[in-house]
């Protein structure tokens, strides 16, 4: 079976987490809610189904959920012209593909947003498949997306690594039995990511590419040894 490198997109390959935070803040305001921006940012990486409960509580008016989510998607779409990949994102995917990894995206984004982000990333030549929030019943931190990505990669959990930027990525991967390499580019701290179970922590995907030979992602099969666990400021 091929070894699989599974990638989150928002905050990992593309610099979008703070744009999502702003879009959610404005969407909440339309319905009279005002969670602090820091709390919203801390929930980025969850799917909308879980984010709403996390921020507004389980006793909220659930009849608003769909409308708030639609508002957030419309507000985020305003930022599409401003989306950009992190330096080295496409180059990392292509180098991993060259080394023999099967590359699958596992994003909490809607199918529409994921399609836009793939165009911005411009690395489809290195991507074997993708799965998004529309493909599963429960989004991160539930393990469904990671498990769906494993199926598309044709790999068992022990034959895969997940690369993400949030606590929810690390938790979802861990529950699915997949080790997670974390990056700091989404705004989550190294200590929290390591406490959640991250195998390695790197500043961003560009630094991961620079550190690749010392990483568990150096080549298929190397991930079983756990890599170096290197961290960069």
Q: How far apart are CA 60 and CA 196, in angstroms?
A: 28
> Which CATH number does 4-16+84-225 carry?
3.40.50.1000
d(CA 209, CA 30): 41
Full-model pTM = 0.92
- Checking if the pLDDT of 76 tops 70, the result is yes
Q: What residues does CATH 3.40.50.1000 cover in the chain? A: 4-16+84-225
List where CATH 1.10.150.240 sits in the chain.
17-81
212 near 42, Cβ under 8 Å?
A: no
Q: According to CATH, what is the number of the domain 17-81?
A: 1.10.150.240
What tens digit of pLDDT does each residue of 14-59 get?
999 999 999 999 999 999 999 999 999 999 998 887 899 999 998 8
pLDDT in tens, 188-205: 999 999 999 999 999 999
| Secondary element (H or E) of residue 161 | strand 160-164
Residue 198's SS3 state is coil
């Amino acid at each position: 079976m091929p070894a699989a490198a599974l990638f989150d997109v928002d905050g990992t390959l593309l610099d979008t987490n703070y744009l999502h935070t702003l879009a959610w803040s404005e969407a909440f305001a339309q319905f009279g809610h005002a969670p602090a921006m820091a709390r919203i940012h801390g929930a980025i990486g969850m799917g909308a189904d879980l984010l709403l409960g996390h921020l507004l509580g389980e006793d909220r008016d659930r009849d608003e959920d769909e409308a708030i989510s639609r508002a957030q998607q419309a507000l985020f779409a305003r930022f599409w012209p401003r989306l950009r990949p992190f330096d080295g994102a496409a180059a990392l995917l292509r180098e991993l593909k060259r080394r023999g990894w099967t590359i699958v995206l596992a994003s909490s984004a809607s199918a529409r947003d994921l399609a836009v982000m793939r165009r911005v990333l411009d690395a489809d030549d290195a991507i074997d498949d993708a799965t998004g929030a529309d493909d599963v019943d429960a989004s991160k931190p539930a393990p469904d997306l990671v498990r769906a990505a494993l199926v598309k990669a044709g790999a068992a959990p022990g034959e895969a690594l997940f690369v993400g930027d949030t606590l929810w990525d690390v938790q979802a991967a861990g529950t699915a039995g997949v080790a997670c390499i974390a990056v700091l580019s989404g705004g989550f701290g190294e200590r929290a990511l390591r406490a959640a179970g991250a195998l390695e922590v790197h500043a961003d995907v560009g630094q991961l590419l620079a550190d690749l030979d010392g990483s568990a992602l150096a080549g298929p099969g190397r991930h079983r040894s756990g890599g170096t666990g290197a961290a960069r400021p």
